[in-house]
């Protein structure tokens, strides 16, 4: 089965787990934040930010603040790109 990559030279990438399985394993506060996020974050990228914040000793609420700040920065970069183009 070739799927969507049937007529392209792009390399196929295998995932260790499906995105929904990764999402289901996230802590509840992170899943709640992700469900309300303005951007379509991947569960894996959110988990990386979350784990880094938590390993630095931040509380759950502070980790959510870190995620919100990362999203704000991403949105501001997107606005700058639109203004330039």
- pLDDT bin (cut points 50, 70, 90) of residue 69 is very high
pLDDT digits (tens, 9 = 90+) for 6-57: 555 556 666 667 778 889 999 999 999 999 999 889 898 999 999 999 999 9
The structural domain count of the chain equals 1
Flag whether 49 is in a domain.
Answer: yes
Tokens at 71, concatenated? 């999203």
Domain containing 55 equals 29-85
Which residue has 């931040």 as its token pair? 58
pLDDT digits (tens, 9 = 90+) for 44-57: 899 999 999 999 99
Flag whether 13 is in a domain.
Answer: no
Flag whether 22 is in a domain.
Answer: no
Task: Note the pTM of the prediction, 2 decimals.
Answer: 0.71
> What is the per-residue pLDDT for 5?
47
Flag whether 17 is in a domain.
Answer: no
């Amino acid at each position: 089965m070739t799927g969507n990559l049937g007529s392209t030279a792009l390399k196929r990438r295998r995932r260790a787990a499906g995105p929904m399985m990764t999402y289901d394993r996230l802590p509840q506060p992170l899943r709640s934040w992700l469900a309300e996020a303005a951007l379509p974050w991947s569960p894996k990228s959110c988990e990386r930010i979350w784990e880094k914040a938590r390993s630095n000793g931040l509380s759950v609420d502070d980790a959510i603040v870190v995620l919100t700040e990362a999203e704000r920065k991403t949105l501001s970069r997107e606005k700058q790109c639109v203004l330039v183009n």
